[in-house]
Structure 1
């Protein structure tokens, strides 16, 4: 199973639903009312005949960023960055994602993230 993770600034669940729905064959994502808290929002989906899980964690990267994790054997994007670019095009809000070289357990002092926004794409320290 593969997984992709991006961070979305100022989550708009309706816009995320429309974006994901345009790339997946099927999407069952709960309503906007669930974003009021910080509880995870779980969605079921399908792509190329494979089941996909998508989970949104509001306020995962501070109060302004929500984490979106998409897991499945087949996914519409090959990397976090490719997914982030697609999200930026559809959502027009800052997207952050891992450059792909960090591994669980490694120090994060100089950890860099892709930041995609109106200024373009650049590697930046989160804070």
Structure 2
């Protein structure tokens, strides 16, 4: 099972479905609701089910966490997925550079940030 995790800044209702519909068949996800703590949906990639979990207001009020899980995904790593989201949404996207595990120090917690300035590893603050 693969999983990808992104944080998208200032995501507007409908944007997530617009982007994911370009990559997943049969997407069943309603991202129009406001004020919900979390919502889930499903889609298919290469006939394999993909679970989509969305957590609005993650890591502060301006970011939405999006988690994709499945045996087959349109992207092989978080950064590829983040690049795709950035190209379609034109919103800042952040993702882990990979390799973090429970117990690792958060002092130098670096994240990929993709925005109009380009791609950069940054400390999330």
Query: Same fold, TM exceeding 0.5?
Result: yes
> C-alpha distance in 2, partners of 1:81/1:103?
17
Match of 1:19 in 2: 19
> C-alpha distance in 2, partners of 1:4/1:26?
19
Contact 2:17–2:30 (8 Å) recurs in 1: no
Question: Bigger CA drift: 38-47 or 78-87?
Answer: 38-47
Match of 2:93 in 1: 95
Q: Which runs of 5+ in 1 are unaligned?
A: none
Contact 2:17–2:31 (8 Å) recurs in 1: no
**Structure 2 counterpart SS, 1:84:** helix
Equivalences for residues 2-41 of structure 1 within 5 A: 2-32=2-32, 34=33, 36-41=34-39
Runs of 4+ in 1 over 6 A off after TM superposition: none
Matched, 1:112 2:110: yes
Structure 1 residue 67, shift from structure 2 partner: 0.3
> C-alpha distance in 2, partners of 1:83/1:71?
12
Q: Which runs of 5+ in 2 are unaligned?
A: none
Which is helix-richer, 1 or 2?
Answer: 1
Q: CA RMSD of the aligned region, Å?
A: 1.0
Match of 1:125 in 2: 123
Contact 1:84–1:97 (8 Å) recurs in 2: yes
**Structure 2 counterpart SS, 1:46:** strand
> C-alpha distance in 2, partners of 1:38/1:14?
15
Count residues in correspondence. 125
> C-alpha distance in 2, partners of 1:103/1:14?
32
Contact 2:16–2:31 (8 Å) recurs in 1: no
Structure 1 residue 104, shift from structure 2 partner: 2.1
